[in-house]
Amino acid sequence: MISFRDHDTEVTLEPGSCWPTPLRPRDQSYRDTAAEEIWAIIADITAGEPWRECLRRRIARRDPWLHRIVTGPERDLFFRQHPPKSGALVLDIGAGWGQIALPLARTHLVTALEPTPERLAFIQAAAKQDGCANRLACVQADFLDATFATRFDLVCCIGVLEWVPKFRAGPPRKLQRDFLAHIRALLAPGGELVVGIENRLGLKYLLGARDDHTGTSFIHMFEAELAARKFQAAKGEELRVLTHSLAEYSALFREAGFSRVESFAAFPDYKLPQLILPLADTAAFNARLEKERLPDEHDGVDGTPLPNQEGLRSLYRSLAHIQVAHGFAPSYVFVCR
């Protein structure tokens, strides 16, 4: 059972139940697929079509990259390599299509929090097919509007932190810090926050690969103020999606109240990781990268393989030789305590 307040409403949920809230305006929810398309998918799943087969039929040809992100078995690799402790109570913030919530709900009690209503309905339908609906509670809400009385052993924030300022007014970095502090307040003693996010100084971005969120090149790599000016000049709008460097993430977590942060580099990215390496011993990490053949990297917007794989590997080896390659990984996973 979980307890929370959404705006002025006190809510108690049992596993297997859902808290609905009024539908959010369309411009206030992240969408990678039209709502009507997802509702049609849900209808097919409810009628008995296996959800993975339904997504293959409806999405794979039209948007193969989205199909890979939603169905790829790599998505929850970190949690298979570092499973939550037995009996852990899990909160998945920005649960999306359920790529983390669904596999974790096979063995743990999970709360999937997602503001986009049709996505949450998809998670419920898929959970029923997977036989884990009785271990999954669903909450349709904005995390910053919800105050939990329940304390969680694990909070997942995968591909979410960078988007926080997009749907809120205020300084982007401060909004991210407040978001992290809000998470820290609901962790149980010994609880952990796991964050998956891109590195603004990722080597592929420095060489011209498009930013995963805005599709722009040679903008997000700069410090926030300069990046904002360049984005305004290029797009005529304010930059509201913010990623950081390894050192900047560490500072942000400390400011939010996390005293211990464990860092991992994810290749080719945290979305579909094939190789996740700890950064506790940067000398060992760099020594490994001098010898390791890294997975091919891709454009984070559409999954297209990048044309300069040999050059990327050569530069990683050179950076590793001077002991700095850890600062140029494409993505990171952080465990904050």
**What residue ranges do the domains of the chain occupy?**
2-336
Q: In the prediction, which pLDDT does 320 show? A: 98
Q: In the prediction, which pLDDT does 288 show? A: 97
- Strand 152-158 and strand 187-198: the pairing is parallel
Q: In the prediction, which pLDDT does 20 show? A: 84
Q: In the prediction, which pLDDT does 30 show? A: 76
Domain covering 2-336 in this structure, CATH number = 3.40.50.150
- Span 147-164, pLDDT tens digits: 999 999 999 999 999 999
- Closest by CA position to 105, among listed 82, 128, 75, 121: 128
Question: Quick one: tokens of 265?
Answer: 């580099």
Q: In the prediction, which pLDDT does 22 show? A: 53
Contact status, residue 91 vs residue 156, Cβ threshold 8 Å: yes
Q: How far apart are CA 264 and CA 67, in angstroms?
A: 25
Q: In the prediction, which pLDDT does 28 show? A: 59
Q: In the prediction, which pLDDT does 196 show? A: 98
pLDDT tens digits in sequence order for the chain, 337 residues long: 899 998 889 999 999 999 986 555 545 567 888 999 999 999 999 999 999 999 999 999 999 999 999 999 999 999 999 999 999 999 999 999 999 999 999 999 999 999 999 999 999 999 999 999 999 999 999 999 999 999 999 999 999 999 999 989 999 999 999 999 999 999 999 999 999 999 999 999 999 999 999 999 999 999 999 999 999 999 999 999 999 999 999 999 999 999 999 999 999 999 999 999 999 999 999 999 999 999 999 999 999 999 999 999 999 999 999 999 999 999 999 999 9
Q: How far apart are CA 143 and CA 184, in angstroms?
A: 13
Q: In the prediction, which pLDDT does 21 show? A: 62
Phi, psi values for residue 9, rounded to 5°: -105, 125
Residue 148's beta-bridge partner residues?
4
- Span 13-60, pLDDT tens digits: 999 999 986 555 545 567 888 999 999 999 999 999 999 999 999 999
Phi, psi values for residue 202, rounded to 5°: -55, 135
Question: Quick one: tokens of 289?
Answer: 């990268």
How far the first Cα of the chain sits from its last, in Å, is 24
Q: In the prediction, which pLDDT does 312 show? A: 98
Q: In the prediction, which pLDDT does 26 show? A: 47
Q: In the prediction, which pLDDT does 127 show? A: 97
